[in-house]
Structure 1
Amino acid sequence: MSHTTQHDLIGLADVAAKIPKFIGKVPNLIQGLSQAYLRTPSTPAGLGIAFEKAVKRNPHGLALMFEEQRFSYKALNEWANQIAHYYLSQGARKGDVIAVMLENRPELIATVIGLAKIGVTIALVNTSQVGKVLTHSINLVKPVALIVGEECRAAVEEIRQALDLPADRLDWFADQETQRDAGKAPNGFNNLAEKIDHFPKFNPPTTHSVQGKDGLFYIYTSGTTGLPKAVVFTHSRWTLAYGTYGHVLNLNPKDVMYVTLPLYHATGIVVCWCGVIAGSATLAIRRKYSTSSFWKDVQKFNASAIGYVGELCRYLMDAPPSALDQDHRVTKMIGNGMRPNIWNKFKQRFGIEEILELYASSEGNVGFSNIFNFDNTVGFSPTPYAIVAFDKEKNEPVRDARGWCQKVKKGEVGLLIGKITRRSPFDGYTDPEKNKAVILKGVFQRGDQYFNTGDLVRNIGFRHAQFVDRLGDTFRWKGENVSTTEVENILCDYDKIAEAVVYGVEIPETNGRAGMAAITLNADATLDEHDLQQMVSQFKQALPGYAVPVFLRIQAQVETTGTFKYQKNKLKEQAFNPAATTDRLLVLLPGAAAYTDLTPEIFEQIQTYQYRF
């Protein structure tokens, strides 16, 4: 995934050269770090407290922009308070869970602030989920209510009977400016905009009773069982992000951060937004990312910072050059997944001075952040971690004769593991069995415990790392985690498919890995033109778009290991190259409604980047 040169390795002299520019950030960073690290699980902490402080600092400054809507800190806070008071009146209490399914718009932001203030954990449901996966995600966290936007209502209506939720706890926002016009709620849904209208606008008494150990979000990650896992994101972890990423970003009330990332992911809702709150700056959001509107929006909102994932950067680089590329005041960006091969080109083309690349996972306890503004790195980590030698064939860390793991040398690649301590705890999943699976014990000495990130990184020196690849049964595509088991289960629902093995494959010039499935058909079954179209339509009904396999390989039988695990390594190596196999290969080309046979000509065109996946 990443290509290192000797030039990327970092030593003391390199860090010393960065110090002059870094000095200006130090007072702000010290303030942030003191908030991040001088906390205990029972300290009052979190989003609600931080937001109320920002309201005090900048009451009339802009807190939020969306399309033509503008909200000051005071106005947004009052709206959030009405939501908080309403749910308190409904009996919602600290420790309860409310599921929220809204696209990026002001109603989502106000709801998150309001619920955070009363200590309710907000389950941020992925708005592209449907069917079985959506039912599982909602029921998994046992919510006391579900707040749904009209834009997601059809998906909820379809599974309504399967939800473990009282019929009168479905709350609804119209898909419009609900503070101006609450709209008319469909049957069986409570009109939330109407309900909250009569409630007080002052801060609820509960904000300061929320403690670090209390849950703020459930964020869903792809599970190896095939269904999403819900990861608890505590107020303490939010405060850690706010104190570090939030203050490194060094925004002020004149700054505007433009975010098009989905706010059900931590990069958008935590990393980008906490920088805005820390600086009492403005958050500008768009419902869904659009390449053609990106720099137009940046200009419209007068943005000075942007949030990103690697995929987004690639789309922007692929777009034809335009006068807007440099006609803006963006100098900073924060996010993850920027590929080394476009890092410098991106900075030059768009006039970016600072790429605050970071590494963190929703469930993990180890984080890196590019505070010194080096190129091609996820940055520096203040948390205790190690990078250890890893055996890809055995899929486990290498241990010596005495059973201890081995740290890799500078310049080498290994498995990233985070030490579990009181200050860097592992908050974990909702399922204790899943927690056991990701904790390594007796790593360097008896009794120590480390969280296994499942990611390979390169040690580039001075506590800096470079992301290399992700292991295991998930891969990233279009900035989303795809669970191979979830996709395998859905593919096997197609009546002609007997077995499916799903894995990620690299397409030149793209980020992450595209989905590919090696499938075996039922006895005597063949795939005709109708199937090639029908499969796409059935897969799209059951899976988010990014999880629908781009490539299919029709096999006579699936190869397994002695323990009946699928032989994925060989499949990944051969990928979708027609010269590497005699199996029939199919591809879902961009914009197509059906799979088509992958010929050597199409393969060549994909290699030379003539299709934009």
Structure 2
Amino acid sequence: MRSSTPSPATIRLGTLLQGVRQLVLNDLSHTLKGLVRLILTKPDRIGSIGKTLADQAARYPDRPALAFEGRRWTYRELNEWANRCAWALDAAGIRSGDAVGILLDNRPEVLAFVLGIVKLGAVATLINNQQRGDALAHSLRITRPRLTFVGQECLPALMSLDASERAALCEQWWWDGDEPCPSGLMDARTRLSQSASSNPPHTDLIRLHQPCFHIFTSGTTGLPKASVMSHYRWHRCLAGLGGLGLRLRPDDVLYCPLPLYHNNALTVSWGAAMGAGACLALARKFSASGFWADVQRHQATAFCYIGELCRYLLNQPPSALDRQHSIQRMIGNGLRPDIWDAFSERFGIEHIAEFYTASECNVAFINVLGLPKTTGLCPLSYAVVEVDQETEQARRGRKGHMQRVRTGHSGLLLTEITNRAPLDGYTDSKATDAKVLRDVFSKGDAWFNTGDLVRDQGWHHIQFVDRLGDTFRWKGENVATTEVEGVLSHLPQIEEAVVYGVEVPGADGRAGMAAISLKGESLNGIELAQQLRQHLPRYAVPLFLRVRRSQDVTVTFKYSKVALKKEAYNPSVISDALFVLSPEGYIPMTTALWQALSEGTHRFD
């Protein structure tokens, strides 16, 4: 990836001291509050997300908690809404530990339903509303919700499962929408309207270590995995990422254009707002052209992001709205070093709280000092270790132990699993075990393998570099290559398919590319694109195709991807036919198109 500004390999002492000075002068009291809250948060203590909301509602009953499309809910109103949901679910037989699915677009009902679920000690299963068919069935199968809320906008997703399959995957389906309730579903709004608004006593029995969410992540095994989020980790994010990093005040408004089935929205943004007694302004979806106008309408003072969102905003034509806003702070991950300064300067953002974590990760890094081009620091134990570039595996020495990289160098990020940093993992214990490395530095130790390459910048700071393995990130989403390969292999034109991520100049993450072998003599690019768009989320459809006679495999019959990734879609080193995704379908790679891609001037929708 070409960079317009150099990426700092290390944090200089002068820069570090300047960050400390700004912290002391501007935000020391708020940072100390966040630090104290973080220290006092212990897994075995009584506490939960529902209790935190109830406490804030008692403390700030008339303060705005949530805003959406011209309407606001106070902390009291949001708490009562959640309570009605909790009592309705209790009457339906939902108990502590049960999973309850949520399949809705971004709107306030998601948060109300989540809160009602967790107030009972149940687990809110946040389903990606872009899933269809087999992927949706798999997500339900591995989390086993006893009841699932379905928004009317997600009816096509529900209809991608036949009636018998729906009945087998979930006992009850609750409908939330203005349209009449379809046959076989129960009307959620009617049930909530008939329920009490008082705080349920169940909430006072929940401990922080108990699970609260299922968040789906692609992982490396193909179909989605459900990571388990605990009340403890949610509150650690509230205190660490929110209190230490973003440092909101009660009169702040945090604008959230990200989907609530992502932890960036559900945990980081919502936790930061609730912890400060501030307001979360929720957008139905992100719009690059309408972003700053919407921020202005909400009078937002902060917003959350993923890296690609920032690039979209930077690619918009300059406008008077670029500076006609009240945004002072932003929090998120993936803001690439090559656009960091340009973004900050154009939009006048004073404080960028970049962080690093993952739905299944047991620790988090946060840019407490507001330093440029870093994900910040972590007070808990971690290591950046050497990687074998050919196998993309952590390298072990003669004694079987791993070696930390030198300052300024990149390696695989590992986080130590301890009582203070427990690993919640996935619903599938085998998938969790596969992410744990043992005897890393000494016999008996255990470390979580993040699967990410990071740069050790010194002074306990790191910088995200890339993802290792088969999973890559595109459009802010994790794409599992085996899932895409599975879809391709079932299509009539395809004999074999190997999927991997490749860099695209001017874009964050890696775009999908597939090396395919055909059953026939020629490729029908329009038909293939239509089929893939029907079976895959938009972000998972490969942007590039390479047509090969056969695929290379290792001695263990695994596809060899190292050379494919290096060659990418470069026609000067590839003799195979290359194709690029267009709105109409896959079209042949041309010299002009290759040139535009190389210069970073070609944009994909």
Q: Structure 1-normalised TM-score? A: 0.95
Task: Mark the CA change 1:215 to 1:340 in structure 2 (over 3 Å): closer, same or farther.
Answer: same
How far off its partner does 1:5 sit? 5.1
Alignment partners' CA distance in 1, 2:325 and 2:113: 31
Higher mean C-alpha deviation, range 211-220 or range 19-28: 19-28
Pairwise mapping of residues 52-451 of structure 1 onto structure 2 (< 5 A)?
52-159=54-161, 160-163=163-166, 165=168, 169-174=172-177, 183-248=179-244, 249-451=246-448
CA distance in 2, matches of 1:521, 1:57: 65
Deviation at 1:165, TM superposition (A): 4.5
- 1:585 maps to a residue whose letter is L
Per mean C-alpha deviation after superposition, the further-off stretch among 64-73 and 317-326 is 64-73
Q: CA deviation at 1:477?
A: 0.4
Query: Residues of 2 paired with 1:110 and 1:506: CA distance?
Result: 39
List aligned pairs for 1:495-510, cutoff 5 A.
495-510=492-507
The letter of the residue matching 1:172 is: W
1:402 and 1:603, CA in 2 relative to 1: closer, same or farther beyond 3 A? same
Tell whether the 8 Å contact from 1:2 to 1:339 is kept in structure 2 after alignment.
no
Work out whether residues 208 and 232 of structure 2, in 8 Å CA contact, stay in contact via their aligned partners in 1. Answer: yes
Contact kept? 2:356, 2:375, Cα under 8 Å: yes
- After superposition, what is the alpha-carbon deviation per residue over 1:100-156, rounded to whole angstroms, capped at 9, x for unaligned? 011110111111111111111011000111110011001210111010100001211
1:562 and 2:562 matched: no
Secondary structure of the corresponding residue to residue 289 of structure 2: helix
The aligned amino acid for 1:239 is H
- Counting aligned pairs with the same residue, the percent is 42
Contact 1:503 1:568 in 2 (8 A): yes
Amino acid in the other structure paired with 1:157: M
Structure 2 contact 139–224 (Cα < 8 Å) conserved: yes
Match of 1:527 in 2: 522
Distance 1:501 1:168, change over 3 A: closer
Alignment deviations for residues 49-94 of structure 1 (CA, whole Å, 9 cap, x no partner): 2222222232111111111222111111111110011111112111
Match of 1:32 in 2: 34
When structure 1 is superposed on structure 2, of 398-407 and 373-382 the one drifting more is: 398-407
Provide the secondary structure at the position in 2 that maps to 1:163.
helix
1:204 to 1:484, Cα distance in 2 relative to 1, 3 A: same
Which of 585, 590, 599 matches 2:590?
599
Structure 1 residue 405, shift from structure 2 partner: 1.0
* 8 Å CA contact 1:216, 1:234 repeated in 2: yes
Over residues 564-593 of structure 1, what are the superposed CA-to-partner deviations in whole Å (9 max), with x where a residue is unaligned? 22121111111111222111111112xx13
Paired position in structure 2 for 1:585: 578
Q: Secondary structure at the match of 1:28?
A: helix
Alpha-carbon contact 2:472-2:510 (below 8 Å) kept: yes
1:543 aligns with 2:536: yes
> What letter matches 1:152 in structure 2?
C
1:172-224 superposed Cα distances (whole Å, 9 cap, x missing partner): 110x5xxxxxx521111111011110111111111221111211110001043
Determine the structure 1 residue equivalent to 2:486. 489
Amino acid at match of 2:446: Q
**Aligned pair partner of 1:46 in 48, 57, 68:** 48
Shift of 1:537: 1.4
Aligned-partner residue type, residue 553 of structure 1? R
Report the equivalent of 2:23: 22
Q: Which residue of 2 aligns with 1:179?
A: none
Task: Please tell me the residue identity of whatever aligns with 2:601.
Answer: Q
For structure 2, list consecutive stretches of 5 or more residues without a partner in the other structure: none
SS in 1 for 2:311: helix
Deviation by residue 1:233-253 (Cα, 9 ceiling, x = unmatched) = 011111111111121222122
Separation of aligned partners in 1, 2:598 and 2:339: 18
* Maintained 8 Å contact 2:219/2:478: no
In 1, Cα distance between the equivalents of 2:114 and 2:98?
14
SS at match of 2:284: coil
User: Post-superposition shift, 1:288?
Assistant: 1.2
For the 8 Å contact 1:82–1:196, the answer to whether it is kept is yes
Aligned-partner residue type, residue 184 of structure 1: P
Equivalent position of 1:609 in the other structure: 600
Can you list the C-alpha shifts for 1:491-512, whole angstroms capped at 9, x where unaligned?
1111120110000111110011
Q: Mark the runs of 5 or more structure 1 residues left unpaired by the alignment.
A: 177-182
CA contact (8 A) 1:37 1:240 kept: no
Q: CA deviation at 1:374?
A: 0.4
Report deviation, 1:13.
4.1
Query: Which residue does 1:180 correspond to in 2?
Result: none
Q: Structure 1: which amino acid aligns with 2:165?
A: A
Partner AA of 1:22 in structure 2: L
Residue-by-residue CA offset, 1:251-281 (whole Å, 9 max, x unaligned): 1222111111111011111101111001111
Distance in 2 of aligned mates of 1:8 and 1:51: 42
Amino acid at match of 2:569: F
Give yes or no for contact 1:414–1:458 (8 Å, CA) kept in 2: yes
Secondary structure, counterpart of 1:36 in structure 2: helix
Provide the C-alpha distance between the structure 1 equivalents of 2:292 and 2:555, rounded to a whole number of angstroms: 53
Letter in 2 for 1:433: K
Go from structure 1 to structure 2 and tell me whether the alpha carbon gap of 1:8 and 1:401 turns closer, same or farther (over 3 Å shift).
closer
The answer on whether the counterparts of 2:144 and 2:170 sit within 8 Å (CA) in structure 1 is no
Structure 1 residues 517-541: Cα deviation after superposition (integer angstroms, max 9, x where no partner): 000112xx0235xx32211111111
CA distance in 2 between partners of 1:39 and 1:63 (Å): 23
Most deviating of 456-465 and 565-574: 565-574
Contact 1:217/1:233 (CA < 8 Å) preserved in 2? yes
The answer to whether the 8 Å contact 2:264/2:332 transfers is yes
Amino acid at match of 1:425: P
Is the Cα contact below 8 Å between 2:147 and 2:170 reproduced in 1? no
* Partner Cα separation in structure 2 for residue 599 and residue 84 of structure 1: 58
Deviates more, 1:561-570 or 1:380-389: 561-570
SS class of match (2:413): strand
**1:472, CA displacement in angstroms?**
0.7
CA distance in 1, matches of 2:421, 2:12: 26
Q: Which amino acid aligns with 1:130?
A: R
CA distance 1:605–1:173, change in 2 (3 Å): same
Separation in 2, partners of 1:33, 1:339: 27
Q: Secondary structure at the match of 1:355?
A: strand
**By how many angstroms is 1:331 displaced?**
1.0
Whole-Å separation in 2 of the counterparts to 1:503 and 1:20 = 44
The verdict on how the C-alpha distance between 1:362 and 1:536 changes in structure 2, with shifts beyond 3 A counting, is same
Aligned-residue RMSD, C-alpha: 1.6
1:8 deviation in Å? 5.1
CA distance in 1, matches of 2:304, 2:170: 38
Letter in 2 for 1:608: E
Matched, 1:468 2:468: no
Is residue 578–residue 588 contact of structure 2 (8 Å, CA) maintained in 1?
A: yes
